[in-house]
Amino acid sequence: METQNILKFPDYFMIIGYFVLMLAIGLYFYRSMKGIKEYFSGSNNIPWWLSGVSFYMSSFSVMAFITYPSLCYRFGFVGVTLLWVAVPATLFSTIFLAHKWRRARIESPVEYLEHRYSPVLRQLFSWQGVPTKVIDDGIKLFAIGTFISVSLGFDIKWSMVGAGGIMLLYTFMGGLWAVAVTDFIQFIILTAAVIIILPLSLIRAGGISQVLDGLPEGFMNLTSPEYGWGYVIYLVVMYTLAWSSVNWALIQRYYCVPTERDAVKTGLSVVFLYIIGPPLMFIPAIVGTQLLPGLTDAGTIYPALCRLLLPAGMLGLMISAMFAATMSTLSGDYNVCANVLTHDVYRRLLRPAASQRELVLVGRLMTLLVGLLALGAALLMAYQAKAEDLFNIMVTLFSIATAPVAIPMILGLLSRSFTERSALWGFLLGLLLGLVLFGFSYYPHPFSFLFLEWTPGKDQIAFFGHAASLEMVLFLATSLTTFFTMVFITAISPMKQTEKDHIEPFLQRLQIPIGTLPEEMDSETVKSGVSPFRIVGVSLIIIAVMMMAVLPWSGNWTTFILNAIIGVFLVIVGLALALSGRSKPLVAE
Sign of the C-alpha dihedral computed for residues 334, 186, 195 and 142 taken in this order = negative
Give the whole-angstrom CA distance, residue 505 versus residue 376: 42
Query: What is the helix (H) or strand (E) element at residue 461, kind and residue range?
Result: strand 460-463
Residue 463, SS3 per DSSP: strand
Identity at 572, one-letter amino acid code: I
How far does the chain reach from its first CA to its final CA, in angstroms?
Answer: 62
Give the whole-angstrom CA distance, residue 141 versus residue 458: 28
If we measure between CA atoms, which residue out of 336, 270, 255 comes closest to residue 514?
Answer: 255
Q: String of b and e for 37-50 (b: at least 16 CB within 10 Å)? A: bbbbbbbbbbbbeb
Give the whole-angstrom CA distance, residue 190 versus residue 322: 7
Q: What is the 3-state secondary structure (H, E, C) of 484-517?
A: HHHHHHHHHCCCCHHHHHHHHHHHHHCCCCCCCC
Give the whole-angstrom CA distance, residue 218 versus residue 212: 11
Residue 353, SS3 per DSSP: coil
Q: What is the pLDDT of residue 199?
A: 92
- The DSSP annotation for 197-239 comes to HHHHHHHHHT-HHHHHHTSPTTTTSS--SSS-HHHHHHHHHHH
User: For residue 403, how many C-alpha atoms fall within 13 Å in the half-sphere facing its CB?
Assistant: 32
If we measure between CA atoms, which residue out of 187, 517, 451, 228 comes closest to residue 323?
Answer: 187
Whether the Cβ atoms of residue 477 and residue 396 lie closer than 8 Å to each other: no
Identity at 101, one-letter amino acid code: W
Q: What is the pLDDT of residue 580?
A: 79
Domain ranges of the chain: 9-381+498-514, 404-415+418-494
CATH topology of domain 9-381+498-514: Sodium/glucose cotransporter (1.20.1730)
Query: What is the helix (H) or strand (E) element at residue 447, kind and residue range?
Result: strand 447-449
Whether the Cβ atoms of residue 532 and residue 18 lie closer than 8 Å to each other: no
Q: What is the pLDDT of residue 537?
A: 93
Q: Return the DSSP state at 33.
A: -
- Measured in whole angstroms, the distance separating CA 317 from the mean position of its chain's CA atoms is 21
Q: In what order do the strands lie in the sheet with 452-455?
A: 447-449, 452-455, 460-463, 466-469
Q: What is the pLDDT of residue 379?
A: 81
Write out residues in the chain with pLDDT < 50, as ranges. Answer: 1-5, 387-388, 391, 523-526, 528, 583, 585-589
Residue 468, SS3 per DSSP: strand
Residue 76, SS3 per DSSP: coil
* CA angle (267, 273, 275) in 5-degree steps: 105
pTM equals 0.88
Identity at 150, one-letter amino acid code: V
297 in the Ramachandran plot: left (φ > 0), alpha (ψ -120 to 50) or beta? beta
Residue 352, SS3 per DSSP: coil
> Most distant CA pair in the chain: distance in Å?
74
- The DSSP annotation for 165-206 comes to HHHHHHHHHHHHHHHHHHHHHHHHHHHHHHHHHHHHHHHHHT
Q: What is the pLDDT of residue 268?
A: 97
Question: Which residue pairs, CB below 8 angstroms and at least 24 apart, start in 367-370?
Answer: 367/168, 367/171, 367/172, 367/334, 367/335, 367/338, 368/168, 368/172, 369/338, 369/341, 370/130, 370/133, 370/134, 370/137, 370/333, 370/334, 370/337, 370/338, 370/341
